[in-house]
Amino acid sequence: MLDATVSNEQGAALAPARGPRWQATLALRFARLDVHTRLIHRDHQGPLVVQKTLHPEGPTVCQAVIVHPPGGIAGGDALDLRVGLGNDAHAQLITPGAAKWYRSGGCFASQSFAATLASGAVLEWLPHEAILFDGAQARTHTRLQLTGSAIAFAWDIVCLGRTAHGEHFASGDLHQRIEVVRDGALVWVEQNVMTAASSVRAAVSGLAGHAVFGTLLIAAPVIEDAWLAAARAAGSDLALEDLALDLAPHDCAVTRVPGALLARCRADATGDVRAWLTAVWAALRPMVIGRPALPPRLWST
């Protein structure tokens, strides 16, 4: 996980699901109108909807709660979320609970997230964790297309097996791909293919035996030195003690490439990974976009 398989070429997108049981799509468009960011367009087919939109920080930030009513993703399901942000719009997308990827009978399930940001826009994609049941076959594809000064925060937390029930991820596989494009040029692409028997699960440079891993990606035109220092401070010995997390400093890593900062964490509990990524997000949000870190209310329910 800390040394994910990376390609520096565009590559092919993940193959579409075969014979989906649920073909769910949701297309959203946000616009900045005076000082307000508003959801001006929504279109959905199948069970993927916006439960509500809120403005807990005032009119500038529109928070949208994305809901998949079935609550679980089975083999053959395909979820497709597409988001567009106009100039200077700021949207924060969250989910009310964990995504459950069920054991597959043979077909894989897929989830794609594609966001297009105009100059000055800010997107925060901060869903709850994904829990892969034993036998799940999951494919996820995230693509961020940014223009000019647009900024995106996106995180992903995965739990292999229902660890709270003592279940291990003994069979199945996970394919992940993320792409960041700015002004038409590929900034970052990362692809992870992990099977239940993959050696990376035990490798020190991978999961080191842990069942949970997460990544926070921040895409910005320039990654400042101060951002990197603040993110690394969140993973220091002192910070981990203050957060009361069962993590070692070597279980957290922060790096940057031109146009992207990546913070990664691995642990035995989703709560520890989520808390650490939240701490990094809270440290960087004021620095990156000039807004205080106000955790969504759903995170504490």
Residue 186 CA to residue 180 CA, distance in Å, equals 6
Q: How many CA atoms lie within 13 A of 191 on its CB side?
A: 10
**Res 19: pLDDT:** 45
Digit-coded pLDDT (tens) for 125-156: 999 999 999 999 999 999 999 999 999 999 99
Position 10 in a domain? no
In a domain, 248, yes or no: no
Measured CA to CA, the distance from residue 23 to residue 256 in angstroms comes to: 36
Q: Which residue has the tokens 């869903």?
A: 127
Q: Domain tally for the chain?
A: 1
Is 170 inside a domain boundary?
yes
Is position 232 within any domain? no
Regions of the chain with pLDDT less than 70: 1-20
Q: Is residue 240 part of a domain?
A: no
Read off φ and ψ for residue 254, nearest 5 degrees: -130, 135
Q: 52 is in which domain, residue-wise? A: 23-219
Residue carrying structure tokens 């994904």: 130
CA distance 112 to 110: 7
What pLDDT, on the 0 to 100 scale, is given for residue 264? Answer: 96
**In angstroms, rounded to a whole number, what is the distance separating the alpha carbons of residues 92 and 48?**
17
Within a domain: 171: yes
- From CA 301, how far away is CA 298, in angstroms rounded? 5
